[in-house]
Amino acid sequence: MQDTKHGIAGGVEIGIGGTYYTEDGISFNESYEIGDVVTQAVYSLGKNKYAFVGNMNGREGPAISTSGGIFFEGHFWPKDFCPEAPARYGAFPSEKTWYITGGTWPQD
């Protein structure tokens, strides 16, 4: 949450996947994304700006919203960049500096 009334949530187990935004801190609405989104990492960047890191329509990397989580614009890795390490988490210390990590978990 950015504050008590504004925030986003994301993940596979929320609804049918994707991201959801709130403007009242109580009810969440589905973001307007085109296609499938899988994320476990969402971030408030302040001033009604948000980010998620994950997979959108098979593309890996971060996506940024400047509309309070209603719309997101993807900034994805080149296709087939590193399929063995899908995008997982990020840090966004400034407008132009982003750190994105990738990886998988060991298989049993």
pLDDT tens for 62-75 read 999 999 999 999 99
Reply yes or no on whether the pLDDT at 40 is more than 80: yes
Domain range list for the chain? 7-102
Buried b (16+ CB within 10 A) or exposed e, 54-68: bbbeebbbbbbbeeb
Percent of the chain residues past pLDDT 90, beyond the cut? 48
In the chain the first and final C-alpha atoms are separated, in Å, by 35
Look up the pTM and report it: 0.85
Kindly state the average pLDDT of the residues 28-42: 83
